[in-house]
Structure 1
Amino acid sequence: MASSPPSRRRFLALSGLTALSVPLTAACGGGGSGDQPAADGKVTFAWWNIATTEPGRSLFPQISSAFTAAHPNVRIETTSLENEAFKSKLTATTSSGRLPDVFQTWGGGVLRQQVDAGLVEDLTDVLDWSSQLTPVSLQAYQFEGRTYGVPYDIGMVGFWYNKKLFAKAGITAPPVTWAELLEDVRKLKAAGITPIALAGKEKWPGHYYWAYLAMRVAGLPALRQAATTKDFTGGGFVQAGVHLKELVDLQPFQTAFLGAGYATPGGQAATMGNGKAAMELMGQWGPSVQKDAGADLGADLGFFPFPTVDGGVGRATEVFGGGGGFALRKGAPKEALDFLRFFVLDNESKLLASNGYLPVVKGAESRLTDANKKVVADSLVKATGFQLFLDQAYPPAVGQEVNDSVADLIAGEKTPEQVTTSITEAAKSA
């Protein structure tokens, strides 16, 4: 699974982080973590991941066991946490100047803050196999030409939809424009079908709507310029909120969506997987979580890109998303990097076969067998622009404000103008 919001507990200011004197060679591992072997002579390193749902829940331990079987001098201490719990724990750990030896990351502004604090290993000169990875998959982990993370999954956010429910509502083809999407929502409601499943409690799924609308209305350059100028009050960003409010006013989401989680029982993924909603806006991992939390929609499941907006400058070939990766703490044992190579290169076929991940190794997309995954992969190959999840692309405080303010808009507690003002204030304070 990919992106969910950073914890509400923010990172310490960089000056505070860099002033900490915690010895990093002892950070977050068990006995033997870092360069010092354990009493039994084994090199031990800590590995934190978010593999709490299938296929990762079964696959990740298999990969770890295969590595330690081939490297009997290594012990891996694994911690698997759900997205929200992981980010809360990692935030607290980062704030104390400590990181696990190997840890899940989505790159962007969150990783950048950890890098600037001197807590993350620069992999550029030791990652001699990076040329085997696709450039787009590495992008989120690179700053000023240096590489600080290794991807294992890459993809995009789009609408997963139930073909059977669309047909029941008389919808013969997925919408191409925002106006068509709104009309399809009306048709679904008229047919007694819940149009969209949303995990309102977790906030990060809601930010996908505002981010994509900002891309479609104002364009990718506007998002990047706003990150530099720290000003999100432009008309394009306000209009993104106006369009989102158009959707919200149609009451398209399932009952009690504001209290719903994502992968929890009865949450967004289960609502979609069990055929109780016609659509969800979610990343490439969507089908596997639907299956894990609910049921497998099989041939009834389809995918379509986020629609364009009439009058907007953004194009349908500009995609929003990201993937999963791992970074190493400063001073992590060399065996940790060996493990990442093993995980990504030696197990690429297993990752793809699981239908939970999209390829990061060049040319591997040709081995995809799932029709929907092929659509996503082909969209990435043809993409004319790429935007990382905003709650990861921007500094943690800014990303959190995007999530919070958009959630308030969806809940009817903020206007489109107030959303852009709050994000701008957070950016100027970051």
Structure 2
Amino acid sequence: MNKRIIAGLIFLLLTGCGSSRFIEGPLENQAASVMKEEIVVWHTYSDEETRIFENAVIPAFEKLHPDIKVTPVRQPYSSELKSTIISRASSGKPPDVVRMDISWVPELSSLNVLYPVSDLPDFAEAVKPLKSVTMETNLYQGRYYGLPLDVNTKIAVYNRLQLGAMGLSGPPETFAQLVQTAESNESQLGLDGLSTWSLLPYFVAFGGKLLDDSYTHAEGYLNSQASVQAMNRILLLSWKGVFNRSLILGKGDRWTSLLKGQMLMIDEGPWFYSILSSSKDNKYNLLDDTVAAPFPGKSIIGGENLVILKNTRHLQASWTFMKWMTGREAQQMMFKVGQIPTNIDAATPVEMQKNPFVMATMEGIKNPYLRPPIPKLNDVETIFTKYMLLIFTNKLPVKEGLDRAAAEIESAIR
């Protein structure tokens, strides 16, 4: 071959090899996708909440953090989910981040399956705007294992016609006034069960106490004279018909009873409005037919926290996502679908300011009652419900039932 031709080919090869277009690897967009760090997030949002979370919240986060890909996985809320989380954490499999009920966090913290986020250097800064009472549910043995994401409580929902028929221009202002109004007008209040979530708002309002303030003792508190008097009062009102015994024992539909004017008040979460307003079968105008107000006593608190599983391989990316989810922008997005924020900087959307159910909830959480944030809460609730059922079905007198419940709970939490 001609030497000039060979030299020309060598020159072309050399100059071609010097072109960054050919030797620097994938194109820019390909490199970015390869370098993305994926985190798996489990949640139990409703249909509408999931739509906003997956189509608005996550894309906004990924736009701000293009190096992190969030893969959401919707899970059914059940006790099986808690068991699955425990087994997954032990095996080191995904998820990385979980949105879970506030009552689960102390137990899972004690089982050493959650990462102590308070060990992270910017934890103190991250929690400054998070002023929710549910922060306490993330504390275990001096360390925090999650961040409070959203909070809820039960509010008092009144039948407007019944209030008018009683000559009332608005809901009773105190619990004592509520009970007196129902009793004197032979009207019903919607106590609907014997679990701590159902019964404690009334038990506490009548002066009862489940545990001491340090959550370490039941004896002398659950079976105190004040608690015995509270339970006797509830039992007497159930026999008078103020509390519907069928509802207490799990029978009947109190939503329908309220809307039909058969009850004065039920205590329920903001989902009363969101579920019924989106139901095709609902024939009532909820804003016209009902009046929403904070529960006229301590408001029992529920909600969800965000946690990181201990064996995650993506700690920093997971923490970045958690901080963003509890930040103002994400909290305001989820507020639009009824998720009450824990971040005090998240302003109330205009459309929510017009919703009396949401505004009553916002007022209610200012006077909170938090169920014991302890690892053995599930045992406490099981024991409590068992003995309340024995008392309400006349199988045990009040004092004996509370004595036995207190002794068993004391043993469980010791």
TM-score with structure 1 setting the length = 0.69
Q: Any gaps of 5 or more consecutive residues in structure 2?
A: 1-32
Of residues 279, 301, 321 in structure 1, which corresponds to 2:290? 301
CA contact (8 A) 1:159 1:280 kept: yes
- Give, in angstroms, the shift of residue 398 of structure 1: 0.9
The secondary structure found in structure 2 opposite 1:302 is: strand
- Give, in angstroms, the shift of residue 145 of structure 1: 4.7
Once residues 276 and 45 of structure 1 are traced to their aligned partners in structure 2, the CA distance between those partners, rounded to angstroms, is 50
Q: Does 1:116 align with 2:110?
A: yes
Once residues 325 and 217 of structure 1 are traced to their aligned partners in structure 2, the CA distance between those partners, rounded to angstroms, is 30
CA contact (8 A) 1:215 1:223 kept: no
Once residues 223 and 404 of structure 2 are traced to their aligned partners in structure 1, the CA distance between those partners, rounded to angstroms, is 6
- Give, in angstroms, the shift of residue 350 of structure 1: 2.1
Matches within 5 A, 1:18-417: 43-52=37-46, 55-63=48-56, 65-66=58-59, 70=63, 71=66, 74-82=69-77, 85=78, 87-91=79-83, 93-94=85-86, 98=90, 100-107=95-102, 110-124=104-118, 125=120, 126-127=122-123, 128-186=125-183, 195-197=188-190, 199-200=192-193, 204=195, 207-214=197-204, 216-218=206-208, 223-225=211-213, 227-231=215-219, 232-251=222-241, 252-253=243-244, 258-259=249-250, 267-269=253-255, 272=258, 277-292=263-278, 294=282, 297-307=286-296, 316=297, 318-332=298-312, 333=314, 334-345=316-327, 346-354=329-337, 356-364=338-346, 367=349, 369=353, 370-381=355-366, 383=367, 386-390=368-372, 395-410=377-392, 413-417=395-399
Higher CA-based Rg: 2
CA contact (8 A) 1:233 1:424 kept: no
**Residues 362, 328 of structure 1: CA spacing in aligned structure 2 closer, same or farther, 3 A cutoff?**
same
One-letter amino acid of the counterpart of residue 154, structure 1: V
**Residues 169, 229 of structure 1: CA spacing in aligned structure 2 closer, same or farther, 3 A cutoff?**
same
Alignment partner, residue 311 of structure 1: none
Once residues 43 and 254 of structure 1 are traced to their aligned partners in structure 2, the CA distance between those partners, rounded to angstroms, is 55
**Residues 56, 199 of structure 1: CA spacing in aligned structure 2 closer, same or farther, 3 A cutoff?**
farther
**Post-superposition CA distance 1:274-319 (Å, at most 9, x none):** 7664422134544324435656612443334444xxxxxxxx5x54
Alignment partner, residue 3 of structure 1: none
The secondary structure found in structure 2 opposite 1:331 is: coil
- Give, in angstroms, the shift of residue 425 of structure 1: 0.9
The secondary structure found in structure 2 opposite 1:154 is: strand
CA contact (8 A) 2:273 2:357 kept: no
Q: Any gaps of 5 or more consecutive residues in structure 1?
A: 1-38, 261-265, 308-315
**Residues 241, 61 of structure 1: CA spacing in aligned structure 2 closer, same or farther, 3 A cutoff?**
farther
Once residues 161 and 393 of structure 1 are traced to their aligned partners in structure 2, the CA distance between those partners, rounded to angstroms, is 36
CA contact (8 A) 2:259 2:290 kept: no
Once residues 318 and 59 of structure 2 are traced to their aligned partners in structure 1, the CA distance between those partners, rounded to angstroms, is 14
- Give, in angstroms, the shift of residue 120 of structure 1: 0.7
- Give, in angstroms, the shift of residue 405 of structure 1: 3.2
Once residues 115 and 248 of structure 2 are traced to their aligned partners in structure 1, the CA distance between those partners, rounded to angstroms, is 40
CA RMSD between the two structures? 3.8
**Residues 366, 62 of structure 1: CA spacing in aligned structure 2 closer, same or farther, 3 A cutoff?**
closer
CA contact (8 A) 1:212 1:306 kept: no
Once residues 47 and 275 of structure 1 are traced to their aligned partners in structure 2, the CA distance between those partners, rounded to angstroms, is 43
**Residues 404, 166 of structure 1: CA spacing in aligned structure 2 closer, same or farther, 3 A cutoff?**
farther
- Give, in angstroms, the shift of residue 89 of structure 1: 2.8
TM-score with structure 2 setting the length = 0.71
**Residues 269, 52 of structure 1: CA spacing in aligned structure 2 closer, same or farther, 3 A cutoff?**
farther
- Give, in angstroms, the shift of residue 45 of structure 1: 4.2
One-letter amino acid of the counterpart of residue 287, structure 1: Y
One-letter amino acid of the counterpart of residue 134, structure 1: K
Once residues 227 and 396 of structure 2 are traced to their aligned partners in structure 1, the CA distance between those partners, rounded to angstroms, is 14
The secondary structure found in structure 1 opposite 2:341 is: coil
CA contact (8 A) 2:146 2:306 kept: yes
- Give, in angstroms, the shift of residue 119 of structure 1: 0.7
Alignment partner, residue 10 of structure 2: none
CA contact (8 A) 1:207 1:402 kept: no
Once residues 357 and 275 of structure 1 are traced to their aligned partners in structure 2, the CA distance between those partners, rounded to angstroms, is 29
**Post-superposition CA distance 1:355-391 (Å, at most 9, x none):** x22231114355551344334424544x4xx431358
